Amino acid sequence: MHGRTLLVIDDNDAVRTALDVLLTLEGARVEQAATPREGLDRLARGGVDLVIQDMNFQREATSGREGIELFRSIRTAHPDMPVVLMTAWTSLETAVELVKAGAADYLAKPWDNARLVTTVRNLLQLRAALDQERERQCRLERSRDELAGRFDLRGIVYRSDALHAVVQTATQVARADVPVLITGPNGAGKEVIAEIIQANSAVRNGPFVKVNAGALPADLLESELFGAESGAYTGARAREGRFEAADGGTLFLDEIGNLPPTGQAKLLRVLQTGEFERLGSSQTRRVRVRIVSATNASLLEAIRQGRFREDLYYRLNVIELRVPPLAERRDDVLPLARHFLEPGYELTAEAERALLRHDWPGNVRELRNCIQRASLLAGSSKIGALDLGLASSATSSVAGESPASLREPDRAEIEGALARHEGVVAKAARDLGLTRQSLYRRMEKLGIAAGAADGG
């Protein structure tokens, strides 16, 4: 907290002095205010990094009313200001409620010095991290808006820097007539990127033909791509191939790693000369086709194993765009989830946490399916964590405990429950949906003394 300015707002001289000494020793610059008015005036002048405030400002008062008012005024004028509430047990519940409103924490008076210092340090760090994240978000949004103003982004949804970089490159290379190879795991959005390239290319008004090399057997794939003359093979009728269909436009070759050797040789030739022959024909045809290919397999590995031609690889990947797995860009999870939700549906906070925890081996496709299934199965328009059916250790139920215990309650919730039930652990446990033993375990882990709620 070195060099940070902390403002202590408390009517009690002794408290202010004690906090001043303690926090000055920690390297902070401490300023004091004896009344809410004085404190708010000081805040209005700017330069304060964190507030420590009392809840009662008159000798007899215990309601915390003034403290609540002060906290609300601070939140209104300075929404991001970290605030530590110093409270007696009598107004603990209020403090817990207020803390839920954002960057704030509370401590019971009399306070523990070490814990106060830790609390202040944590909040300052949180604030710095939030500031940084907000700045990044602003930069990204500006850059994305600017990009969306100049290019057709096909409605792609993201909030991560990682995908932004991919989209940016895609728009940059779209106009050039060079082959692009898009790599990335299943369902990560390779086809969406291919669509962005097509939509912003010089041939965007030409045909856009997609061929999945993984979906057809080798012999059919070749006639599919290059066409065939009647009698080229048993029962074959004359047909135009996809290369001809894509002439003057874009051909998207999906799962290119599955192309058999003869197909690879032919593809290489088209890329080099634009020329090919239909199966069973000696007539050479010429096309102008922009090639965008995609693979979720490692082509380098396939080259090492002799299954993929190295010269073809270098032809295809003049530009390589790598779409990262969803697990490497968790910023995109919630925006995508909301995008896939049916209108009128929403996710509970718990559901959002479960989505953020999940690893998404099936990437965006898995997320889309998960949200669609949950919308169908949810009993109401609010989709909860259980509706998502994500079988992770964090969301699967623990034998013998009720669903409320699926997420471990935090310190504020436990202390709030203890305060509500005057420190009676059994009652607090029932309130939290935990067994008494597991509440004890959790309290022990968090360092909450069992007797604390009785006395204060």
Ligand X SMILES: Nc1ncnc2c1ncn2[C@@H]1O[C@H](COP(=O)(O)OP(=O)(O)OP(=O)(O)O)[C@@H](O)[C@H]1O
**In whole angstroms, what is the distance from residue 269 CA to residue 437 CA?**
72
| Count of C-beta atoms within a 10 Å radius of residue 62 | 12
| Structural contact between residues 17 and 8, judged by C-beta atoms closer than 8 angstroms | no
Residues binding ligand X: what is the number (CB under 6 A)?
17
| Of 170, 189, 188, nearest in space to 180 by CA | 170
189-228 footprint of ligand X as x/- string (CB under 6 A):
xxxx------------------------------------
Q: Which does 88 bind (CB under 5 to 8 A by kind): Mg ion, ligand X, none?
A: none
Tell whether residue 413 is a contact of Mg ion (CB under 5 A): no
404: left (phi over 0), alpha (psi -120 to 50) or beta: alpha
Tell whether residue 184 is a contact of ligand X (CB under 6 A): yes
Least distance (Å) from Mg ion to the CB of residue 332? 17
Tell whether residue 366 is a contact of ligand X (CB under 6 A): no
Least distance (Å) from ligand X to the CB of residue 339? 6
Compare residues 70 and 211 and give the one whose CB is closer to ligand X: 211
Tell whether residue 156 is a contact of ligand X (CB under 6 A): yes
Compare residues 15 and 294 and give the one whose CB is closer to Mg ion: 294
Q: Which does 187 bind (CB under 5 to 8 A by kind): Mg ion, ligand X, none?
A: ligand X
Q: Which does 188 bind (CB under 5 to 8 A by kind): ligand X, Mg ion, none?
A: ligand X
Among 127, 307, 365, 420, binds ligand X (CB under 6 A): 365
> Restricting to residues 242-261, which ones interact with ligand X according to CB under 6 A?
254
Tell me the residue number closest to Mg ion, measured at CB: 191
Tokens 């030739």 belong to residue: 269
**In whole angstroms, what is the distance from residue 449 CA to residue 32 CA?**
32
| Inter-CA distances, 25 with 3, 83, 166, Å | 11, 20, 48
Compare residues 104 and 336 and give the one whose CB is closer to ligand X: 336
> Restricting to residues 171-200, which ones interact with Mg ion according to CB under 5 A?
190-191
What three-state secondary structure class fits 181?
strand
> Restricting to residues 323-342, which ones interact with ligand X according to CB under 6 A?
336
Alpha-carbon dihedral angle through residues 63, 65, 68, 69, given to the nearest 10 degrees: -170
Compare residues 144 and 290 and give the one whose CB is closer to ligand X: 144
What is the b/e burial string over 98-127, where b = at least 16 CB atoms within 10 angstroms of the residue's CB? bbeeebbbbbbeebeeeebbebbeebbeeb
| Of 194, 187, 159, nearest in space to 173 by CA | 194
Residues in the site for Mg ion, rule: CB under 5 A?
190-191
